[in-house]
Structure 1
């Protein structure tokens, strides 16, 4: 023991208790000579009072005393939470084996027989204190390890292992009591956008806020039930990243789970303010129910996860219950993903082309290239099915590059064959648009295919360009500098700001088909379309109306001075050969 430890322990308070005044004096003088602060008690009752009022660091107890014996005092101290680890040295004239054994059984730290060797008593006290501190340090380390093993260090919520452990226990209770248990799998929509734009440190603070919202918002009756010995501090679990889970025990009515899920959506969808920033995160929630959707933790968690992905497919910021049909859908999706990875290699993709008509000139002026997948097993797979998978897996990069190159090659063939000069329009996903190599790739494709840049137009959605606006303006200006046109696809369905819209170097607005569908029967739809056309004229932008299928829609659009039309009224998307026939024959499209 070094000098620093000696000085530390010499300042300790020591309670001594003995009914022999001589021993009491000798113990006090010996310990005080070594620097200890001594508290005296001549009987057991006094010793207990002084222990609870003065909280000594160590205790020396005489075993044989009138009234309460040293054994009884030791037992009462050990029974109290503040006396669990205080060192207690039993002092007695009896040194038989039974007395020693009894001392240790009732919780004594050490045993010292009389007559006492006085020079040794201070050393015994110091080593008892040192042992106490070592045990406390070990206990703290164990508790810290236990915390790290069962709780999430960022949010303080239960982690996956903790959650699964308690869910398993409650499933057993539910089986006995014939109750339902609801499992909610929560994923934050587009959370990666926050990390990418404001940094992971900021994202971590958002996750901490989300954890608090979940804890504060949910009623106790909706959450993890607590057993008397559970000591749970968290009612929600964080699985990692932006994924959280909750289980609802002893559910009587399935509708109660839906109410909880809706309350979570409403509370999490409120803006979160951190420093000078205000962000909004919305949750997609998948729900599985015991025993209908699984009898064990693994199946319930898997099925809740499947349901959560279905919620995302349905537009996010909603909840969905699991069902067998969803499980089948998930398996089909996995198979489709595996087959999609081989589609380029197996030459299964084809571009179709849908003409864009200038109704005033009665001719095709441009064409939109649309990808089609001819799958050997499933036949023609809709882009609505495989494009989201391609975006999630990153395959959209390779597929998108193929589409751009193939469309430019085809446009150059038509140009070289002497057909009407026709601009080709190619869709870019938000994933492609964010790549730093995009501008260089566009330039390379134009150089390789020798297609004039003015015969290429790239289509982007509002949502793609409205995240990281200032950075996107620079990228769009770089594309525009190549001589390539830029169109905003599905305009009116996103969240573009008019103050930013005029800063974007775009050339065309494409009115979404949802507004065109009832333009000739719904005054609100007509008003929106007319407003978009006026806006485009003000900003000196071209306008294309998508999804035109009836002459009534065409007539209304013409009354709004909208001359550029695309839709089934004129032609569905067709393969390159059929489209070439349209160009060669120069059909009077509107008249027909």
Structure 2
């Protein structure tokens, strides 16, 4: 056995195996002269060792050899991972038909008949090498096309096409084995806001990071219940955008699925650091189980999607199982979304205004603008129904700008009618607040309407400003610099805002109505409201109590020296023309009797 060193001038390695030393010598001289590197072996066992060590580009095998025959060596090479495509040329007698047939049967590419025509050997080998190179090139192209067709280019995860095929296969297996399977539809909450704010390049990096977190959570099986450790087969796919789907085979019960789903919620919700930014994304996960929630791929995916949207409507950052009752909610969501897209252009929205009453002067001094929608198809749609849809679909930005402009125009009309120092308060969604164009939008509304900035107040919820504290404080200061007042809405429902309250450049605290409802019957709620008002007075902030509906509530708030009252006790939200009439007439003195 000879093992020539690989010379830099050679461009392919040929393994030749024959027990005839003269044949080996002639073959080595013939092929070496054609700039090929030649390895030789005198028996089948040595030939196999040389192949495993050097993985030559082509193999020439004599049929009859000691230790292992050419057929046996050929068969062993074909078992090797790279040996499946290696060209193998079997050397047989020209009239040995049985050997030729057996050679093909064992995986030979072609045969070389004896006696050997030496001038033709190198040409034959070169021809087979060229064919092998072409074949491998085509194979690589096919593999590349397959990856493009079946894998997501950003994350490397299987894509929608790959998922559909895997799910079809999994369903067939589940039918055969009488097993359950589960799919989880994951949508990242408010990803569009981050994408729009920090850019698509940042968004792509974030998606890659999230996909890695999902893989780490699932493939490491850190979240898989012990009962599923040995049987659960998992496939993670990216459907596109910020949507992922997980296929979990052979699930046993909903309890195990809940463990996996909650682990995913916890994992995805952890802070992610990218390019000096720390962001937190939460997932909404919809779960569908085969065969309970669908008998085929289409039904399962549809119902997982429905459950995911339900998870969003229930506050996001969680998971929900599909139930038949959700179909009605999902259909309504889709109906609202479809009608909402044209509602603004069709002038279907209007603004109502709810008076805010000063407890000291007993006069209406300001109003809150509240959006109303009367749809020709759906009838009256409440804000609690259409605002989440508007936020999820991105329509909230156009809608919010319309409200801002309309409110400023109306406030200027009131000012021109003699209602001096009469302020209008406009709600900003968290999505609007994060937009870089927010300040310009407010400026345009003020400039176009001619309304002094001092007569405009914007309302933000605690949840809208409690992420990215420093950045949000900068943005709030920019709004204050315009001369616009800032109110913190739904105060008291958050958990960490008290420690930051003195840092926020706000003017007004609005106590959430959930504390006002039982303020005259529940000592604990009364104590909370009194503490909030005392804190606000210390920080020189105005306090507005929302949701005041009874005389008892009014008496309690008066006792705590609340500044402004808003609620049905004085007035429901009404159209602009009614506000003018209400303001021009003194409030009924009986409303304030014995407080």
Structure 1 position 537, deviation (Å): 2.8
Aligned to 2:269: 269
CA separation in 1, counterparts of 2:306 and 2:237? 18
Backbone CA RMSD of aligned residues: 3.4
Structure 1 position 586, deviation (Å): 0.8
Q: Structure 1 residues 238 and 225, CA, compared in 2 at 3 Å: closer, same or farther?
A: farther
CA separation in 1, counterparts of 2:44 and 2:441? 89
Aligned to 1:207: 210
Cα distance per residue 1:224-271 (max 9 Å; x no partner): 979xxxxx9x62222122211122333343343333322322333334
Structure 1 position 583, deviation (Å): 1.7
Aligned to 1:573: 573
Cα distance per residue 1:126-148 (max 9 Å; x no partner): 44344334433333332333233
Counterparts of 1:537-556 in structure 2 under 5 Å?
A: 537-556=537-556
1:223–1:235: 8 Å Cα contact kept in structure 2? no
Aligned to 2:424: 424
Cα distance per residue 1:329-348 (max 9 Å; x no partner): 22222222333344445544
2:92–2:100: 8 Å Cα contact kept in structure 1? no
Aligned to 1:113: 113
Aligned to 1:485: 485
Structure 1 position 164, deviation (Å): 1.2
Q: Does 1:144 align with 2:144?
A: yes
Q: Structure 1 residues 14 and 398, CA, compared in 2 at 3 Å: closer, same or farther?
A: closer
Range 165-174 or range 104-113, more displaced: 104-113
CA separation in 2, counterparts of 1:124 and 1:520? 101
Aligned to 2:3: none
Structure 1 position 277, deviation (Å): 5.2
Aligned to 1:3: none
Q: Structure 1 residues 9 and 492, CA, compared in 2 at 3 Å: closer, same or farther?
A: farther
1:223–1:247: 8 Å Cα contact kept in structure 2? no
Q: TM-score, normalised by structure 1?
A: 0.86
Query: Which runs of no fewer than 5 residues in structure 2 stay unpaired?
Result: 1-5
Structure 1 position 170, deviation (Å): 1.9
Structure 1 position 297, deviation (Å): 0.8
Counterparts of 1:238-387 in structure 2 under 5 Å?
A: 238-272=238-272, 278-387=278-387
Cα distance per residue 1:535-583 (max 9 Å; x no partner): 4333322111212233443343334332222122332223334433432
Aligned to 2:224: 219
Cα distance per residue 1:438-495 (max 9 Å; x no partner): 4445444445544443222222223334556566555544543443322222223347
2:155–2:208: 8 Å Cα contact kept in structure 1? no
Q: Structure 1 residues 470 and 62, CA, compared in 2 at 3 Å: closer, same or farther?
A: same
CA separation in 2, counterparts of 1:283 and 1:401? 28
Aligned to 1:104: 104
Aligned to 1:229: none
Task: Indicate the SS of the match to 1:316.
Answer: coil
1:371–1:383: 8 Å Cα contact kept in structure 2? yes
Aligned to 2:124: 124
Aligned to 2:593: 591
Aligned to 2:406: 406
Q: Structure 1 residues 56 and 9, CA, compared in 2 at 3 Å: closer, same or farther?
A: farther
CA separation in 2, counterparts of 1:120 and 1:143? 35
Q: Structure 1 residues 533 and 40, CA, compared in 2 at 3 Å: closer, same or farther?
A: same
CA separation in 1, counterparts of 2:367 and 2:495? 26
Structure 1 position 273, deviation (Å): 5.0
